[in-house]
Amino acid sequence: MALNIFNTLSRKKEEFIPLKRNFAQIYVCGLTVYDFMHIGHARTYLFWDVLRRYLDFKGYDVLVVINNTDIEDKIIARSNELKIDFRLLADFYTEAFYSDLKTLGALPYCITCNATDYIPEMIETIELILKNGFGYEIDGDVFYSVEKFSDYGKLSGFSVDELVAGARVEVNERKRHPADFTLWKSAKPGEPSWDSPWGKGRPGWHIECSTMAYHFFGGTYDIKGGGIDNLFPHHENEIAQTFAAYGIPLAKYFMHPEHLLVDGAKMSKSLGNFITVRELLKDWKPAEVRLYFLQTHYRTQMNFTKEGMNASREALERISHFRSVVLNALKGEKEIGLDIKSLSLLKNDAPIMNLLRKTKESFISAMDDDFNTPRALATLFDFISESYKIGIDGSQDSEELRYAFNEFDRLMSILGLESDLLLTKATFNWENDFSKLVDILLKHRAEARMRRDFKTADLIREMLNQAGLVLEDTASGTRWIIREESR
Ligand code: AMP
Ligand code: ZN
């Protein structure tokens, strides 16, 4: 059966045919690392995790790249506020992001890359854009000239004129056209900066993804992913840059998961509806979080509710109960020897084998239909209720049940609901993860206190508190411990 993906570029479902046979090349836009990941991020990145697991199940070799936006206005603003180096701030939150993803049971990315490690490559891309006549420089700033690219607006469906009328573009008198965007930003005093042919400065946000993707894939790749807010301007601008520099399309398929809202609104600190993954995991298990998100299709907006999480908890309990009933019937021995001989001895017409075949077919057809996880999940719950009807509890210690149960587990793990995650409560492994960074932050805090800069000292305390640490100021210095409920 063929996998169909909704491609934002064509606005329809298309069969997934990778550019290289059996090889799926994916680039997902990463986090701007200036704070802990929130539950909206979790929804998007857990979806990428399922996408990647399913492609793997379909037999593709999957190469998935993610970037860390480690230089950006928000990072500079936060590091100024805390009076710590931007590098330290970015490293701290990058570590926290991958640690949280791991806690949520996501597979590690094949390649992760920091934008600031590829500045020479970005400069090269900008030079190519200029050489090919798609950009211009004014006093140390470099801009992309959108009028030079006739396909500009094809992804978002906006025309250049509409963009200007709708005030969707940044106003800057020095730009030749209001919709032109920044490729290189000249440095303001005191900002982190790098040398370039246009003077000291830093790359614009969009250029990092065009450049790093080209660096790793060497050409057009299969899937470009980013939340719906990345569609415009980020991905539109990436397409324009990659064409201008290398003369090629950026990617074949564009995927844009919809956002998670809280209390029906976009999450923001000022609205008080901002929930980090770390906070969420104090009350809920990672598997409950995953199951919750899976129940809504990725292209449908979702509103986070406690009732929804409660329902997810109950659903997970149903799964766990089913697993223990079956394991009991199998006397705890789950694994079947998957050699040809033992497989050939299975009775294909046994009721549980018929049920398994039906389940797998429906599961695959749901996932093939643009990753319809709510339908896929429903097939697994049907499997559970139908198995009870067949009478799995009690006497049936059969090889067929053993086989069907293994296959059920395999389908569960495509959704990231691996058996060892089901019962796990979140733990944060601070000792291994980033205690060195915590120590550096504490040193900054001590220095701030010495100079009676209590605002900075409090901000650092708050940042570590949110991370699940409690600071204890003693006569011999500050100690930190992991807050009990974060363990
Ligand atoms: P950011 O660093 O916040 O710009 O976002 C990193 C990724 O998370 C991007 O792909 C965003 O589209 C996505 N994202 C941001 N907020 C949400 C949200 N509330 N729900 C789902 N995805 C989000
Ligand atoms: Zn990006």
> According to the model, what pLDDT value does residue 22 have?
97
> According to the model, what pLDDT value does residue 420 have?
86
Which tens digits make up the pLDDT trace of 133-146? 999 999 999 999 99
Q: In angstroms, rounded to a whole number, what is the distance separating the alpha carbons of residues 315 and 321? A: 10
Q: Which helix (H) or strand (E) holds 368?
A: helix 351-368
Provide the 10 A C-beta neighbour count for residue 301.
Answer: 12
| pLDDT confidence bin for 163, thresholds 50/70/90 | confident
Which tens digits make up the pLDDT trace of 315-335? 999 999 999 999 888 876 666
Average pLDDT over residues 263-277: 84
Q: Which of 165-169, 413-417, 441-445 has the highest mean pLDDT?
A: 413-417
Q: Ligand 1 atom closest to Cα of 261?
A: 19
C-alpha of residue 29 to centroid of ligand 2, in Å: 4
The pick from 73, 229, 276 for probing ligand 1's pocket by mutation, whose C-beta has the most ligand atoms within 8 angstroms, reads 229
pLDDT at 464 over 70: yes
Which tens digits make up the pLDDT trace of 42-94? 999 999 999 999 999 999 999 999 999 999 999 999 999 988 899 999 999 99
pLDDT at 436 over 80: no
In the 8-state DSSP scheme, what is residue 2?
A: -
Longest dimension (CA), the chain: 81
Provide, rounded to the nearest whole percent, the portion of the chain with pLDDT above 70: 94
C-alpha of residue 472 to centroid of ligand 1, in Å: 34
| pLDDT confidence bin for 242, thresholds 50/70/90 | very high
| pLDDT confidence bin for 109, thresholds 50/70/90 | very high
C-alpha of residue 224 to centroid of ligand 2, in Å: 9
Q: Is 153 left (phi over 0), alpha (psi -120 to 50) or beta?
A: left
Cis peptide before 257 (omega within 30 of 0): no
Residue bearing the bigger pLDDT, 165 or 312: 312
pLDDT at 159 over 70: yes
Which tens digits make up the pLDDT trace of 415-433? 999 988 888 888 766 656 6
> According to the model, what pLDDT value does residue 432 have?
60
| pLDDT confidence bin for 167, thresholds 50/70/90 | low
> According to the model, what pLDDT value does residue 267 have?
86
Tokens of residue 473, six digits = 């100021």
> According to the model, what pLDDT value does residue 382 have?
98
Ligand 1 pocket check for 32: Cβ under 6 Å:
yes
Q: What is the distance between the terminal CA atoms of the chain, rounded to a whole angstrom? A: 44
Mean pLDDT value across the chain: 91
CA 42 distance to own-chain centroid = 7
pTM (predicted TM-score) = 0.93
pLDDT at 345 over 90: no
Ligand 1 pocket check for 225: Cβ under 6 Å:
no
Q: Can you tell me whether residue 117 is helix, strand or coil? A: helix
Residue among 21, 17, 6, 25 at smallest CA distance from 212: 25
Query: Is residue 240 a contact partner of residue 144, using CB atoms and an 8 Å limit?
Result: yes
Which region among 54-63, 110-119, 166-175 has the lowest average model confidence (pLDDT)?
166-175
Token look-up 């979080």 returns 289
Q: Ligand 1 atom closest to Cα of 32?
A: 2
> According to the model, what pLDDT value does residue 56 have?
98
C-alpha of residue 69 to centroid of ligand 2, in Å: 8
372, exposed or middle or buried, with CB in 10 Å at 0-12, 13-18, 19+?
middle
> According to the model, what pLDDT value does residue 429 have?
63
> According to the model, what pLDDT value does residue 336 have?
63
Query: Is residue 308 a contact partner of residue 316, using CB atoms and an 8 Å limit?
Result: no
Q: Ligand 1 atom closest to Cα of 230?
A: 12
Q: In angstroms, rounded to a whole number, what is the distance separating the alpha carbons of residues 210 and 243? A: 10
Q: Ligand 1 atom closest to Cα of 226?
A: 10
Ligand 1 pocket check for 277: Cβ under 6 Å:
no
C-alpha of residue 40 to centroid of ligand 1, in Å: 6
The pick from 26, 72, 208, 259 for probing ligand 1's pocket by mutation, whose C-beta has the most ligand atoms within 8 angstroms, reads 259
C-alpha of residue 395 to centroid of ligand 1, in Å: 50
Ligand 1 pocket check for 259: Cβ under 6 Å:
yes
The pick from 44, 255, 260, 289 for probing ligand 1's pocket by mutation, whose C-beta has the most ligand atoms within 8 angstroms, reads 44
Residue among 219, 232, 78 at smallest CA distance from 157: 232
CA 270 distance to own-chain centroid = 24
Q: Which residues surround ligand 2, an ion (CB under 5 A)?
A: 29, 209
How many Cα atoms occupy the beta-carbon half-sphere of 86 within 13 Å? 19
What sign does the CA torsion over 398, 404, 407, 411 have?
Answer: negative
Helices (H) and strands (E) in the chain, counts: 18, 15
> According to the model, what pLDDT value does residue 486 have?
53
